[in-house]
């Protein structure tokens, strides 16, 4: 199967250019070029042998070794070999998750700060909480 550049872009961006199994950074221009740094393949999350389709929602970027290693195992199984539960998020989803973390942590920080030091504490606590929340890598959860 030959993919168009637009399809490859879409597949690559789904996981912010990272292998959906081990999370390693991939190099877009080294698609299909085994042996190159960041070389990657298009991987069928549900294997072709098990009826997986060429529909975009079944396709993920994976490094060459992960793609070979996964074989007919499920993505869940292959990710568990690398202590991962899910595919890396797309840039858009990462941004959204970071904002949500910041809002939640900011709220918690404001409550704690408010209890400890009153309104000024709430402002400081909220700021610190939001910053900490924003620094949490959504992929690490
Ligand atoms: Zn990998």
What confidence score (pLDDT) does residue 87 get? 95
- Whether residue 89 contacts residue 97, with contact meaning beta carbons closer than 8 Å, is answered with yes
Would you call 41 helix, strand, or coil by DSSP? strand
Using 50 as the pLDDT threshold, list the residues of the chain that sit under it.
Answer: none
Q: Among residues of the chain, what percentage have pLDDT more than 90?
A: 68
What confidence score (pLDDT) does residue 140 get? 62
Q: How far is the CA of 10 from the centre of ligand 1 (A)?
A: 18
List the alpha helices (DSSP H) in the chain. Answer: 5-14, 64-70, 75-80, 91-135
Q: How far is the CA of 54 from the centre of ligand 1 (A)?
A: 20
Q: How far is the CA of 90 from the centre of ligand 1 (A)?
A: 16
What confidence score (pLDDT) does residue 141 get? 53
CA distance 50 to 115: 56
Q: What's the mean pLDDT when you consider all of the chain?
A: 92
Q: How far is the CA of 43 from the centre of ligand 1 (A)?
A: 10
CA distance 130 to 109: 7
What confidence score (pLDDT) does residue 28 get? 98
What confidence score (pLDDT) does residue 54 get? 93
Across-strand partners of 41? Answer: 62
Residue with tokens 């060429």: 54
Q: How far is the CA of 127 from the centre of ligand 1 (A)?
A: 37
Q: How far is the CA of 55 from the centre of ligand 1 (A)?
A: 21
Residue 51 φ/ψ, nearest 5 degrees:
90, 10
Q: How far is the CA of 121 from the centre of ligand 1 (A)?
A: 45
What confidence score (pLDDT) does residue 134 get? 85
What confidence score (pLDDT) does residue 3 get? 94
């Amino acid at each position: 199967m030959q993919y168009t550049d637009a399809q490859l872009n879409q597949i690559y961006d789904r996981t912010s250019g990272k292998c959906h199994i081990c999370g390693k950074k991939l190099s877009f221009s080294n698609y299909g070029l085994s042996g190159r740094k960041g070389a990657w393949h298009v991987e069928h999350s549900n294997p072709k042998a098990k009826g997986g389709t060429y529909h975009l929602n079944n396709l993920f970027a994976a490094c060459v070794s992960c793609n070979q290693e996964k074989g007919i195992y499920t993505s869940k199984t292959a990710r568990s070999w690398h202590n991962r539960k899910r595919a890396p998020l797309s840039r858009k989803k990462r941004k959204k998750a970071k904002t949500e973390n910041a809002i939640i942590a900011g709220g918690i920080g404001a409550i704690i700060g408010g209890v400890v030091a009153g309104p000024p504490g709430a402002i400081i606590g909220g700021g610190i909480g939001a910053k900490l929340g924003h620094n949490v890598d959504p992929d690490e959860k």
